[in-house]
Structure 1
Amino acid sequence: MSRPPFSTDEQDRKRSPRMTQIGFIGLGSMGMPMAGNLLRKGFNVRGFDLRAESVSKFEGLGGTGAASVGEAAHGADVLVLMVVNAAQAKTALVADGALSALAPGGTVILMATCQPGDVVDIAQEVEGAGRRFVDAPVSGGMAGAVNGTLTIMAATPRPTFEMVRPVLEAMGDKLYHVGERPGQGATVKTVNQLLCGVHIAVVAEAFALAAKTGVDLNILLEIMSGSSASSWMLKDRGPRMLESNPDITSAVDIFVKDLGIVLEAGRSAKVALPLAAVAHQLFLATSGRGEGAADDSQVIRTYMAMNGSASA
């Protein structure tokens, strides 16, 4: 939906943190620190979460708590959605009234991981209501959210991208304009999750083979980390695979969801994704045994169970 150029006054207003009112929906493990970083950059942020304790925690950071989605979005220039999935985003925007509560000409930034087709549908709803839409999923996990070092893959018309750049830069230090159309950001994030999920699964598979033959996995990790077989996921998830109950930075069920999105995107585009399908089944098997809340590195437990190997 085409829009007239932004006036200088409007651009200045949007770029000034103290003049920009932000509504933030989804104060979870990533949303909370993201909203906190917006506060630290001087933005006025009104936040909502289904969990009252999260809203109270956000108020403790200096933010303004909201009792409902509509209250969080009321009169906001920018509404950030960091929810679980597209269904929650649609509910917040339409059924719960966030879209109608948003300031006229306001901007919705969808930062959750969603299926590209769903993002297109949400964008049509938002733009049909006279608001702007930014498809901006993130990568970098909880550490990136806390440190403000997220990678943000934004798809929106260039003028809108430049207008919301200060908001995005408050949450991430690697900001990319990946396209003009809704769904393009979601597609880039989908590809990212395909690679991440497959990399984690293949590290677990390699460790399972070594464990079955009695190789010391600590030595294996040291060797592989310095070889041509190394990867970021090997260095990050490998050490946690050697712990029985590592701290949770990203749960198994996150990859059950995200690889499901990958496969749905493949079906929609008629693209065969056999490696992603196998990785999805392995994460699903881990979740099915009641370990969906465990750190995603613990997909190795499924390999160990299948092969009768001792626990890593």
Structure 2
Amino acid sequence: MMAAMKNVGLIGLGAMGLGMAQSLRRAGYHVHVYDVRVDATRTFADEGGVACGSPADVGSRCEVVISAVVNAAQTEQVLFGAGGAAAAMPRGSVFVMCSTVDPNWSMAMEQRLAAMDLLYLDAPMSGGAARAASGQMTMMTSGRPEAYARAGELLDAMAAKVYRLGDRAGNGSKVKIINQLLAGVHIAAAAEAMALGLREGVAPEALFDVITHSAGNSWMFENRMPHVLKGDYTPLSAVDIFVKDLGLVLDTARATKFPLPLASTAHQMFMQASSAGYGREDDAAVIKIFPGIDLPG
């Protein structure tokens, strides 16, 4: 039997992390979890997981610790803050970093953990909460062969596609921010198209049906515009996520003076939506920046 009932830790039970933890549990692992929201940890424990009181508690019990928090700052807190995991993890164990971060930060983190005799996988993810819950998400990974040797089966348990993009950290995060460039631009373009349709008096449901059966369709149009049609901006991925992620895209390109005109425009659209008070709403709320339209719902 596969590494049956092996201990694994997961920190961060948000939209993606919860689904990842559920996939690991279905695959036969003892999943030890920590989240700053105690109720989320307890709920997962009630369903068959193991609740832990801190990242250090997770790290001391598991050979592999997966982090699914929001950004680099939260990841550093998980590792090195009060009750951090790094000092508690057994030497030779693996930290799997699944956030969207600056690739240079990820490369530096690999070196910082190596100095503590800990292995590191740069492993950002994509696919949304539903695919995370079904174990069908995509992971863009890079890291040392020894890290893959210890954590590879876990990645396969969480994702339908696990891309191995290099033997050092960095390439996983580079590919992820390129993906986020496209995702952010596509959401912004989808919102602009729907806004124009509304301004011109086209029935939004009819427009959605036509576009999703035509060459102008995109995954993001098909996935996000139903939120607009329903008037439901409950955040699955928030506007402020793309303020952050497109900011990382632009920072990366700026370092080599590489122009990104579409990403820059999309970033400004999400910034405008955030400054207007929509930062914590679903990223489809970027449509709210357009004047003179009556939104459904």
TM-score with structure 1 setting the length: 0.89
SS at match of 1:148: coil
Residue 78 of structure 1 aligns with which residue?
A: 64
Q: Helix, strand or coil: the match of 1:179?
A: coil
The answer as to 2:195 corresponding to 1:208 is: yes
Over the aligned positions, Cα root-mean-square deviation in angstroms equals 1.8
* Residue in 1 that maps onto 2:73: 87
Q: How far off is 1:47 after superposition?
A: 1.1
TM-score normalised by structure 2 residue count: 0.93
Please report how far the alpha carbon of residue 217 of structure 1 lies from its aligned counterpart in structure 2 after TM superposition. Answer: 2.3
Question: What is the CA–CA distance in structure 1 between the aligned matches of 2:146 and 2:91, rounded to whole Å?
Answer: 17
Work out which of the residue numbers 109, 122, 127 in structure 2 matches 1:122.
109
Contact kept in structure 2, 1:23 and 1:45, CA below 8 Å:
yes
Q: In the alignment, what sits opposite 2:294?
A: 310
Note the C-alpha offset of 1:281: 1.4
Cα distance between partner residues in 1 of 2:285 and 2:81: 37
Runs of at least 5 residues in structure 2 that lack an aligned partner in the other structure: none
Give the CA deviation at 1:77: 0.7
> Offset of 1:247 from its aligned partner?
4.6
Q: Which runs of 5+ in 1 are unaligned?
A: 1-11
Residue 237 of structure 2 is aligned to residue 253 of structure 1: no
Q: 1: distance between equivalents of 2:4 and 2:260?
A: 43
Partner SS, residue 17 of structure 1 = coil
72-81 vs 135-144, greater mean Cα deviation: 72-81
User: Is the Cα–Cα contact under 8 Å of residues 7 and 30 in structure 2 kept in the other structure?
Assistant: yes
Contact 2:119 2:146 in 1 (8 A): no
Give 2:39's match in structure 1, choosing from 30, 38, 53: 53
From 203, 222, 229, the equivalent of 2:209 is 222
Q: Which runs of 4+ in 1 moved over 4 A?
A: none
Match status 1:293 vs 2:280: yes
Structure 2 counterpart of 1:120, one-letter code: M
Name the count of aligned residue pairs.
295
What pairs with 1:260-271 in structure 2 (closer than 5 Å)? 260-271=247-258
The answer to which of 44-53 and 266-275 deviates more is: 266-275
Of residues 185, 192, 196, the one that matches 2:179 is: 192
**Identity among equivalent pairs (%):** 38
Query: Match of 1:36?
Result: 22
User: Is contact 2:19-2:130 (8 Å) kept?
Assistant: no
Worse-matched range after superposition: 212-221 or 71-80: 212-221
